[in-house]
């Protein structure tokens, strides 16, 4: 091992930057008293081949340590050691023995001997620590690719897990590519055939798979190691830079298929956890800067449920977040971001919510991010709930009210009819005061966190025993209903009811005004066996079982047809430049109950009907929802064109192919009423005149 003094270098840009003749390295380490840059021969080298001591007189500018190293090229493995006071009472946790990642590192190297435990205990951990890799972002050929910039009004989101999408043996993907970026590429035709326009990918920032229950680990990815490096565990390639190129190959392939890429990003905490957690990066560089500390500075404020909270509105952390987002857009061509526990980004260094959080306005006003989708999970784990009130003008929000009210209404709960009307029409009770477009509401019934759609109609309670916490983890209130039997059943009537409920949920999600989001596998009734918190389950329980595509082909087809209807692909109108969602949000809604013009808003009501006349288009829509357990006769409007008739395009009670039909094949409906069977909904369409 060679020790030397490095050349001066520059404080900007942060990270490792290739320049003519070598590379410039710069890292923020406030209160650090000494710093070393470590260079390793390869990923598994137990010790660095060169240690460069950074001279505080020449290699430090303010709080930035920097050095130029001649001869460095892409692929060089590196890390830091930073010395300083270990004084937890002052929020300082320096440890000169610990090897630290570069916060701006673009790739991560994992040695075969990697140990999270070694990073928690005293002593040198060079042989077992994660390291960073020097990257040349300009070396990739994008072949003219660019983010797609599709409007939210034309967007249908499919939330999915990159690993779980193709890891199951039934995926048909070669074993070497299962669970990888490359495996997802092979399944893009499935996504196109389904009709979704965007994928929202669970965290792809490099995360610590070891940060989970003993013997299980972390599957979802909400334990970030880095805000710049793509997760290398989803790469099928062996070279250290393989994850970077394979990730970009995936983005480019999805764009060619017309599918946008939205990343689920975690800027609220890191995998370093609480006081007894490992020292991997931020804790060893500037603990009191990167994290919100408790009044007792030896402890971390925990608004995330993960042990620590990133100090997002501290200037250095604000810059880190903004630089990260810019990188993913400019260098990785990402179309949008869903911010996990986004309400944490509104908290100040003392944890108090701010009326005008600087980091959110930084993101909102940045020109590089101007045409990027920004979606907030507008709550956090400490009780802050900001749905309908999230700061900013361009942010869209996961609408938790939509999820809960639709679940409650279809389950048959009392007092839900009025709320259901709001959810169908873009949640004006939540968003009208902000005068924003209806697409601000991201409408979903299921997501990665909680029951799958199949399990929502198959289990009354959670079944998380496999997680090793005696079923204590996960939400207890799921607003689920098992349709009469807990778990799987061979009883045909129960299965018919479950199928019907699944179709009801899907129809309301995809036809409601707003931006719909579907969970991976819901279109084929993917099950997790009642586990509503499978964050630690990298096993078949979490993977997409491709046998279900054939087993539940009726549900799969139903979703395809629903998406086609929403995207205005089979409607009797001459102009096809607007989606059904765009048409509906511009028109007044006339509410009914089982009798026309007599909506029932009572607490005992389980019915809802609505007419929408699409002025400017010769089309009339009438939807009837019967969440009651007996059939009901609904009056239907009289058409102003005697020679026209209503056509039944959706009836979730009917067997395929009559459950959903395009306009051309839909059957005409005669008479003045329509029978809507128990726990089902019917959608009628008709050509209409221009009179209201």
Distance CA 140, CA 137 (A): 7
Active-site pick, 377, 405, 523, 651: 377
Of 604, 607, 584, 635, residue with least CA distance to 424: 584
Who's near 616: CB < 8 A, 6+ residues apart?
none
Active-site pick, 340, 455, 545, 651: 340
Of 159, 151, 148, 155, residue with least CA distance to 510: 155
Dihedral-angle region of residue 392 (phi above 0 means left; psi in -120 to 50 means alpha; beta otherwise): left
- Helix (H, G, I), strand (E, B), or coil: what is residue 681? strand
Q: List helix spans (H) across 331-398.
A: 358-365
Asked about 377 being catalytic, the answer comes back as: yes
Residue 600 structure tokens: 């029932």
Of 56, 85, 79, 68, residue with least CA distance to 8: 68
Helices 492-511/553-566 angle, 10° precision: 20
Cα dihedral value 634, 640, 642, 646, nearest 10: -40
Residue 506 structure tokens: 């899907």
b (16+ CB within 10 A) / e for 638-651: eeeeeeeebbbbbb
Q: Which H/E stretch holds residue 15?
A: strand 15-19
Cα–Cα distances (Å) from 42 to 129, 233, 325, in that order, read 13, 18, 29
DSSP 223: S
Asked about 295 being catalytic, the answer comes back as: no
- Helix (H, G, I), strand (E, B), or coil: what is residue 250? helix
Query: Nearest-5° angle of CA 413, CA 416, CA 420?
Result: 130
Strand 373-376 vs strand 396-398: parallel, antiparallel, or unpaired?
A: parallel
Whether omega for the bond prior to residue 657 falls within 30 degrees of 0, making it cis, is: yes
Distance CA 306, CA 232 (A): 22
Cα–Cα distances (Å) from 475 to 148, 257, 505, 533, in that order, read 36, 37, 20, 8
Residue 369 structure tokens: 């991010």
Taking every pair of C-alpha atoms in the chain, what is the biggest distance, in angstroms? 92
b (16+ CB within 10 A) / e for 139-169: ebeeeebebbebebbbbbbbbbbbbbbbbbe
Residue with tokens 């939807």: 623
**Active site residues per annotation:** 340, 377
């Amino acid at each position: 091992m060679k020790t030397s003094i490095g050349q001066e270098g520059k404080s900007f840009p942060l990270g490792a930057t290739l320049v003519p003749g070598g590379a410039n390295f710069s890292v923020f380490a406030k209160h650090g008293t000494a710093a070393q840059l470590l260079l390793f021969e390869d990923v598994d080298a137990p010790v660095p081949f060169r240690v460069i001591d950074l001279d505080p007189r020449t290699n430090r500018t303010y709080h930035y340590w920097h050095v130029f190293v001649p001869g460095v090229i892409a692929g060089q493995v590196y890390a830091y050691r930073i010395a300083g006071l270990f004084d937890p009472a002052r929020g300082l946790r320096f440890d000169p023995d610990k090897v630290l990642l570069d916060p701006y590192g673009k790739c991560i190297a994992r040695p075969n001997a990697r140990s999270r435990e070694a990073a928690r205990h005293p002593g040198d951990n060079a042989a077992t620590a994660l390291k960073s890799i020097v990257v040349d972002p300009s070396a990739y050929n994008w072949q003219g690719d660019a983010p797609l910039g599709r409007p939210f009004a034309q967007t249908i989101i499919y939330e999915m897990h990159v690993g779980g999408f193709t890891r199951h043996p039934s995926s048909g993907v070669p074993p070497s590519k299962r669970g990888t970026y490359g495996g997802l590429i092979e399944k893009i035709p499935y996504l196109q055939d389904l009709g979704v326009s965007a994928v929202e990918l669970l965290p792809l920032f490099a995360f610590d798979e070891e940060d989970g229950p003993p013997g299980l680990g972390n599957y979802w990815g909400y334990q970030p190691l880095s805000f710049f490096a793509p997760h290398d565990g989803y790469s099928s390639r062996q070279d250290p830079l393989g994850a970077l190129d394979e990730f970009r190959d995936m983005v480019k392939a999805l764009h060619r298929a017309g599918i946008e890429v939205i990343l689920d990003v975690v800027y609220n905490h890191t995998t370093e956890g609480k006081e007894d957690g490992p020292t991997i990066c931020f804790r060893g560089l500037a603990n009191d800067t990167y994290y919100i500390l408790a009044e007792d500075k030896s402890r971390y404020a925990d608004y995330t449920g993960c042990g620590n909270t990133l100090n997002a509105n501290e200037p250095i952390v604000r810059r880190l977040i903004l630089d990260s987002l810019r990188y993913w857009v400019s260098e990785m061509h990402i179309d949008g971001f869903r911010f996990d526990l986004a309400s944490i980004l509104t908290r100040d260094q003392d944890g108090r919510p701010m009326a005008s959080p600087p980091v959110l306005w930084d993101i909102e006003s940045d020109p590089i991010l101007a045409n990027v989708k920004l979606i907030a999970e507008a709550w956090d784990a400490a009780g802050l709930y900001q749905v309908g009130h999230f700061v900013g003008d361009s942010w869209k929000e996961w609408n938790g009210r939509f999820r809960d009210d639709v679940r409650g209404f279809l389950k048959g709960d009392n007092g839900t009819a009025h709320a259901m009307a709001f959810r169908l029409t873009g949640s004006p009770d939540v968003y009208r005061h902000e005068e924003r477009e209806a697409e601000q509401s991201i409408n979903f019934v299921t997501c990665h966190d909680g029951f799958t759609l199949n399990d929502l109609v198959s289990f009354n309670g959670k079944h998380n025993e496999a997680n090793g916490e005696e079923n204590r983890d996960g939400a207890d209130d799921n607003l689920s209903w098992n349709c009469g039997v807990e778990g799987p059943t061979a009883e045909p009537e129960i299965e018919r009811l479950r199928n019907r409920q699944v179709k009801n949920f899907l129809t309301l999600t995809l036809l409601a005004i707003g931006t719909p989001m579907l969970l991976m596998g819901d279109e084929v009734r993917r099950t997790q066996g009642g586990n509503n918190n499978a964050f630690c389950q990298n096993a078949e329980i979490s993977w997409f079982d491709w046998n279900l595509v054939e087993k539940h082909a009726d549900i799969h087809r139903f979703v395809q047809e629903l998406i086609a209807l929403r995207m205005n692909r089979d409607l009797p109108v001459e102009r096809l430049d607007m989606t059904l969602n765009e048409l509906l949000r511009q028109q007044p809604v006339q509410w009914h109950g089982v009798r026309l013009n007599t909506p029932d808003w009572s607490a005992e009501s389980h019915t809802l009907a609505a007419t929408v006349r699409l002025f400017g288009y010769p089309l009339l829509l009438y939807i009837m929802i019967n969440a009651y357990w007996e059939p009901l006769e609904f009056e239907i409007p009289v058409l102003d064109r005697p020679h026209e008739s209503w056509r039944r395009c959706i009836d979730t009670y009917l067997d395929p192919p009559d459950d959903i039909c395009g306009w051309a094949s839909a059957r005409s409906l005669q008479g003045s009423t329509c029978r809507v069977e128990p726990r089902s909904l019917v959608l009628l369409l008709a050509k209409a005149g221009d009179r209201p």
